[in-house]
Structures are given as structure tokens and as C-alpha cells.
């Protein structure tokens, strides 16, 4: 496998490395906001696997080993609409294969706390995904979408995504974090297709 998709020429890559990127905005004013659910997933995994996240160039980064794979966790510090800059930089620096990148993001079109893993797709109006596609020069990258859909009509979309979860919403989202972690680990061990078949559209009790 070669990194032609980024370098424009052949470069060696490490197929045992995975880059897991949680999208969000830095700053205390954005903590626990709907747009920052990707950060919450990374924070959950960092705590679970005792990973120290260090502020480095373009993001907070940490890593751990799991069953022969090196899993790199990343929270971009570029703000949402420049997320791709951080993703590209660390993919190149760590020599990550395109198929070993997983983006964790909120999705306005999915019911609250529902999870959907995909290997490609449009940005759906999400500025973070739009910039990642631009920087990687392809829509063919894996993304784990976490639903934050509102049942209200006529709401302001920007205010909504930058707003805080209600207590009930946050409780429901928090309960989904172990499933997000499980999906990430399955992705690194079994690949995209088998992970999608295992998790997509199935409640936790039906997953095997």
C-alpha cells in the first residue's frame, strides 16, 4: 500500500497504525456542546485506556496499543472548519493508510445517540467533514456518525449545534460512548465492512 492519495508519489505506510479523530471546537465555551461529541468519544477512550493526551501541533494527541494495533487518538485544535488540516498533517507524519483513518463526528440527520459507520459519503453540510474531504482530496474515508437530530422545527442550525446538550440528552449520549469505543476497536481489528455489518442498524443487545 502507498500513500499516493496524499503525497502524490509513493511513500511507505504502517498498516498496524490507526488514526481515530474526534471532531470538535477547542475552548471552554464549546465543552459539552452538540458539535463536540467527537471530542467526548476521544476523551472517553483516553480515560478508558489510560492515554495521556498531549497538546502538539494542530491537536491534542495520544496513543495506545491494542491487540497488535497502534491506535492514535486525535482532537484537532484547528476549530471545526479546518479539521482537515490537522487530519492531513498527522496522517502524513504517522504514515497512516487512508483506510486506517476514522473520523468521529456529530450528525444532524440521525436520531439522538444513534450510531452509523460509513466508508464514504457527502459532507452533509458539516464543515469539518467538508474540510477533511478537501484536504484528503477524497470523500472515501471512514466516519462514525453520532446522531444529534432535533425534533423541533424551524430552529437555527448553527445555534443548535453549538448549544449544550440538555441533561437528558447528555445522559443518553453518555450511554452511547462505550458503543462508540467498541466500534473503534472493532474497526481496527476487523476492518470497515465487518464492523458495519456488526453494528449498523442494530441495538446493543443484538450486536455480536
Distances (CA, A) of 82 to 72, 99, 109: 19, 21, 22
3-state secondary structure 18-49: EEEEECCCCCHHHCCEHHHHHHHHHHHHHHHC
3-state secondary structure 62-114: EEEEECCEEEEEEEECCCHHHHHHHHHHHHHHHCCCHHHEEEEEEECCCCCCC
Residue 9 is predicted with a pLDDT of 54
Residue 2: pLDDT band (50, 70, 90) is very low
Q: Which helix (H) or strand (E) holds 131?
A: helix 127-136
Per-residue pLDDT of 99-113, as tens digits, reads 999 999 999 889 999
126 assigned to active site: no
DSSP-derived letter for residue 171 is H
- Inform me whether the pLDDT recorded for 204 exceeds 70: no
Cβ-Cβ contacts under 8 Å for 35 (sequence gap 6 or more): 23, 24, 25, 80, 106, 161, 162
Contact between 120 and 141 under an 8 Å Cβ cutoff? The reply is: yes
Per-residue pLDDT of 20-79, as tens digits, reads 999 999 989 888 888 899 999 999 999 999 999 999 999 999 999 999 999 999 999 998
Mean pLDDT calculated for residue range 90-104:
95
Residue 163 is predicted with a pLDDT of 82
> How many degrees, rounded to 5, is the angle at CA 37 between CA 21 and CA 83?
40
Contact between 70 and 63 under an 8 Å Cβ cutoff? The reply is: yes
pTM over 0.85: yes
Residue 14 is predicted with a pLDDT of 81
Cβ-Cβ contacts under 8 Å for 125 (sequence gap 6 or more): 108
Contact between 187 and 195 under an 8 Å Cβ cutoff? The reply is: yes
**Residue with the three cell numbers 498527522:** 90
Handedness of CA 199, 204, 206, 208 (dihedral sign): positive
Contact between 115 and 146 under an 8 Å Cβ cutoff? The reply is: yes
- Inform me whether the pLDDT recorded for 143 exceeds 50: yes
Per-residue pLDDT of 151-188, as tens digits, reads 776 666 777 778 888 889 899 999 999 999 999 999 99
Spell out the domains of the chain, with CATH numbers in brackets.
13-202 (3.40.50.1470)
Contact between 97 and 86 under an 8 Å Cβ cutoff? The reply is: no
The closest alpha carbon to 24, from 2, 51, 53, belongs to: 53
Amino acid at each position: 500500500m502507498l500513500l499516493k492519495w496524499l503525497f502524490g508519489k509513493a511513500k511507505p505506510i504502517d498498516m498496524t497504525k490507526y488514526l481515530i479523530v474526534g471532531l470538535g471546537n477547542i475552548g471552554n465555551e464549546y465543552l459539552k456542546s452538540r458539535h463536540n461529541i467527537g471530542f467526548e468519544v476521544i476523551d472517553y477512550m483516553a480515560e478508558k485506556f489510560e492515554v495521556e493526551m498531549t497538546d502538539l501541533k494542530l491537536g491534542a494527541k495520544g496513543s495506545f496499543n491494542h491487540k497488535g494495533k497502534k491506535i492514535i487518538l486525535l482532537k484537532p485544535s484547528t476549530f471545526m472548519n479546518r479539521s482537515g488540516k490537522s487530519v492531513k498533517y498527522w496522517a502524513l507524519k504517522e504514515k497512516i493508510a487512508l483506510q486506517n483513518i476514522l473520523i468521529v463526528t456529530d450528525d444532524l440527520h440521525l436520531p439522538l445517540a444513534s450510531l452509523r459507520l460509513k466508508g464514504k459519503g457527502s459532507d452533509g453540510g458539516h464543515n469539518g467533514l467538508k474540510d477533511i474531504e478537501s484536504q484528503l482530496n477524497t470523500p472515501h474515508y471512514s466516519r462514525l456518525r453520532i446522531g444529534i437530530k432535533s425534533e423541533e422545527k424551524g430552529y437555527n442550525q448553527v445555534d443548535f449545534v453549538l448549544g449544550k446538550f440538555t441533561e437528558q440528552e447528555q445522559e443518553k449520549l453518555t450511554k452511547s460512548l462505550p458503543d462508540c469505543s467498541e466500534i473503534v476497536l472493532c474497526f481496527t481489528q476487523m476492518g470497515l465492512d465487518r464492523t458495519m455489518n456488526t453494528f449498523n442498524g442494530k441495538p446493543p443487545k443484538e450486536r455480536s
